[in-house]
Amino acid sequence: MERSLFLFYLFTCKNIHPSMFQMPGVVKVPLGGTATLQCNVESIMATCSQILWNKVHPRTRELKTAQAVKTEQREKNLCTGVIQNATVGDSGIYYCIALSSIILYIGNGSKVIVTEPNTKPTITLYTPDENQGSSMALQCLVFGVVPDETRVFWVVGQTTQTGWTESGWTDNTESASEFTWSYLTLSSDIWMDDVQIECIIELGGKNFSKSLKRGCSNNKCTWILYLGSGSALLIISWVVIGTISLNKGKRRKTQMCKKLTG
């Protein structure tokens, strides 16, 4: 009942003061680890029993009571919020909220990022339709990593380009996965130059990439190489056979001349 009243005040009370200092601003914790948040209540003369933790869902942006956070008082005037056995679903922005003297106080927020160790991104490249006109649109989708921990950029030939990058969700359910989407536009002239194009993901000091090259998709280039090699061998065979035949003809002609003159 008290929690329901707290949320009621949160959305209806006009006297909201962001005067509680909350730290740290960003908390990175591995999967299964413990995230620790702190809220300083000294300026509002409140106790930790008055603190309620709320979380903004990263997809829906809804503010809800964070059941995963347990409040402890380890130091004077500091209320500690603890998230144990953190899951990917615990990622989000957390606010400490307190009601004191009919005034609602809210902290400045702490962003919690739960990461999975040794994760490798899944990269999907979408090649453009060559009938698009003067420009070609390339798309790179990255799954399996936290967008805030990921940097996506492109390398076209020897040039690095950033493109346009944003994040999204696979669907509207609670089990939805977040992904990163990068978009790059190239001129048709560059695309027709047959340069190598790479979508590169920088994650935890490591780079992962996927590349494409115009005209060498699927097995076309392999077959072209095989056919080219076969044609080259055939031409070389013809030259060798022709040379041998010509040399034999010259030797026969020389022998005949010797007989006639001898």
- Point out the domain boundary residue: 71, 86, 115: 115
Largest CA distance in the chain: 134
Nearest one of 140, 139, 136, 158 to 150, comparing CA atoms: 140
Co-location of 9 and 111 in the same domain = yes
Q: What is the pTM of this model?
A: 0.63
- 163 has pLDDT over 80: yes
Co-location of 103 and 127 in the same domain = no
Query: In which domain, by residue range, is 206 found?
Result: 122-213
Contact between 30 and 84 (Cβ < 8 Å): no
Co-location of 34 and 7 in the same domain = yes
Co-location of 62 and 130 in the same domain = no
Per residue in 35-46, pLDDT tens?
999 999 888 878
Q: For residue 260, what pLDDT is reported?
A: 36
Per residue in 188-215, pLDDT tens?
788 777 788 899 999 878 899 998 876 5
How many percent of the chain have pLDDT more than 90?
24
Q: Say which range, 79-93, 123-137, 174-188, has the weakest mean pLDDT.
A: 123-137
Per residue in 44-77, pLDDT tens?
878 888 889 999 888 888 888 888 899 888 888 8
Co-location of 92 and 133 in the same domain = no
Count the domains in the chain: 2
Co-location of 76 and 159 in the same domain = no
Assess if residue 262 is contained within a domain: no
3-state SS, one letter per residue, for 133-190:
CCEEEEEEEEECCCHHHEEEEEEECCEEECCEEEEEECCCCCCCCEEEEEEEEEEHHH
Q: What is the CATH number of the domain that holds 178?
A: 2.60.40.10
- Point out the domain boundary residue: 172, 187, 213: 213
Q: What is the DSSP letter of 77?
A: T
Residues linked to residue 208 through DSSP beta bridges, in sequence order: 201
Assess if residue 103 is contained within a domain: yes
- Give the C-alpha separation, 6 to 63, whole Å: 13
Co-location of 105 and 206 in the same domain = no
